[in-house]
Amino acid sequence: MAYVNFNHVTVKYPIYNAKSMSLRNQLVRIGTGGRLSKETTDIINITALDDVSFELKKGDAIGLVGHNGAGKTTLLRTIAGIYTPESGNITSQGRVSTIIELGAGMDHELSGYENIFRMGMLLGATRSEMDSKMDEIAEFAELGDFLAVPVRTYSSGMLMRLMFAVGTSIEPEILLIDEMFSTGDANFQEKAHARMEALINAAEIFVFASHSPELIQRHCNRIFTLKHGKIIETNPF
């Protein structure tokens, strides 16, 4: 059974500027006994999540809200296991599917078909599994003959269709989606929402970052508001 547990999790996000990324400045720092450290290495640490604890269990559909830069994407990546916390611990179980950044895992020179295999395998499916899902994905994405041409010719709406179709087809137990429904036409958005509802009804964990109150209302049964790295849970009703 899928679950996610955050126990006093703090994630610090280091920002490396051009100076700290350079080997020369690291060498200078060693050479000067680190005394010049202020000028040579400017690694700014941003506390994106500050002592966060929560528990997600089967059937939870979380709406993540918060202004730009509040840490919504960082939280999604931490749940996915991409970012490791500085302190605290995370336990989770379940097949994770992430739809965070447009075009992740795609090779833009390859065709839509080939990219369906790529993304599916990235998300943990085997080649033969993807083979059997191909028709369903192609039908859902409604890209028709475009699936045979390189992905670099796709519009962002088409990329989103493809990513969403693959990301949801592998039957994830934990589905993490960042706000990306601004692309895609009305017709596809309606289809996507119907599929999300089906997934949520299949009692999986679903975390959805969005700026749209209607979408959150429609899909989510818990609301997390992120503010200065802290999470405040509010009642959706």
Partner 1 sequence: MNHAIKDIEDSFNKLPMAIYFAWGDTVARYRRSILGPLWLVLGTVIGTLGLGWLWGSLLKVDYATFFPSLTVGLVVWQLIASSIVEGSTAFIRSAILIRNVKTPYLIFPVQVLLRQLINFGHNLIVVVGVLIIFSSALSWVTLLFIPNLLLVLGNLLWMILLIGLLGARFRDMEQLIAAVMPILFFLSPVIYRPDQLGIKSAFIWLNPFSHMISLLRFPLQGSVPPTFVYVVMVSMLIVGWLISLWFLNRKYGRIAFWV
Q: Are 206 and 60 in contact, with CB atoms under 8 Å apart?
A: yes
Near partner 1 by CB under 8 A: residue from 5, 22, 37, 183? 22
- Which tokens sit at 223? 């609301």
Q: Are 140 and 195 in contact, with CB atoms under 8 Å apart?
A: yes
Q: Are 75 and 100 in contact, with CB atoms under 8 Å apart?
A: no
Near partner 1 by CB under 8 A: residue from 21, 30, 44, 198? 21
- Which tokens sit at 20? 């700290």
Nearer to partner 1, 62 or 76 (CB): 76
State the burial class of residue 233 (Cβ atoms within 10 Å of its Cβ: 0-12, 13-18, 19+): exposed
> If binding is defined by CB under 8 A, does position 31 make contact with partner 1?
no
CB of 81 to partner 1, least distance (A): 4
Near partner 1 by CB under 8 A: residue from 40, 64, 65, 77? 77
Nearer to partner 1, 103 or 142 (CB): 103
Bridge partner list, 226: 231
**Scanning residues 133 to 192, which ones bind partner 1 (CB under 8 A)?**
150
Query: Which DSSP string corresponds to 147-209?
Result: GGSBGGG--HHHHHHHHHHHHHHT--SEEEE-S-TTSS-HHHHHHHHHHHHHHHHTT-EEEEE
CB of 237 to partner 1, least distance (A): 33
Near partner 1 by CB under 8 A: residue from 23, 68, 145, 235? 23
- Which tokens sit at 88? 């605290």
CB of 217 to partner 1, least distance (A): 27
**Scanning residues 81 to 140, which ones bind partner 1 (CB under 8 A)?**
81-85, 96, 98, 100-101, 103-105, 107, 109-110, 114, 117-118, 121-123, 126-127
CB of 234 to partner 1, least distance (A): 28
State the burial class of residue 212 (Cβ atoms within 10 Å of its Cβ: 0-12, 13-18, 19+): middle
CB of 190 to partner 1, least distance (A): 25
Judged by the rule CB under 8 A, the positions of this chain that interact with partner 1 are 13-14, 16, 18, 21-24, 26, 77, 80-85, 96, 98, 100-101, 103-105, 107, 109-110, 114, 117-118, 121-123, 126-127, 150
